[in-house]
Structure 1
Amino acid sequence: MYVGAPGAWFPYRHQGRADVVSVYTVFDCLLASGVEPNAGEGVFACRWVDPAAVPATTLPQVRQLCRSLADGE
């Protein structure tokens, strides 16, 4: 697996917990194998999606980042 430099970051204020903000950092990566769910981390399913058509339940910040990447920004 290759992990490059950070390419973007965004804050997320948690719903129901106004005092909690997470900062997500996005890295340029290449996978050595396929993706698998990890129930231990609360990930029960995963799939690849077109960055221009992410699911509606995706965080708005992630949707915006995917749109930017799809547009080549």
Structure 2
Amino acid sequence: MNRFIGVLIFLLSIVCFIISVDVFYIQAIFVDEHNFSMGEIFGGNFNLYMVWIRLFLQAVLCILSGIRMFSKKKS
């Protein structure tokens, strides 16, 4: 049961990270085509930094859950 929960957490974190990166990429294309800045899209630099921090934390979550999933359990 623990193995199943670990795999489920890993898959959900990967899916969330992929969706977030895709949305960020689409917004970057919009910014480039319409001559905006990312700060304008997110309502200021603070919110832009929060988006970068969210992406970083999701990447860390994916890495840590992957390590936990593939590490061997000590008995």
Which bracket does the TM-score occupy, shorter chain normalised? under 0.3
TM-score normalised by structure 1 residue count: 0.27
Q: Using CA pairs below 8 Å that are at least 6 residues apart, which structure has the higher relative contact order?
A: 2
Please identify which structure carries the higher strand content: 1
Please identify which structure carries the higher helix content: 2
The structure with the larger Rg is 2
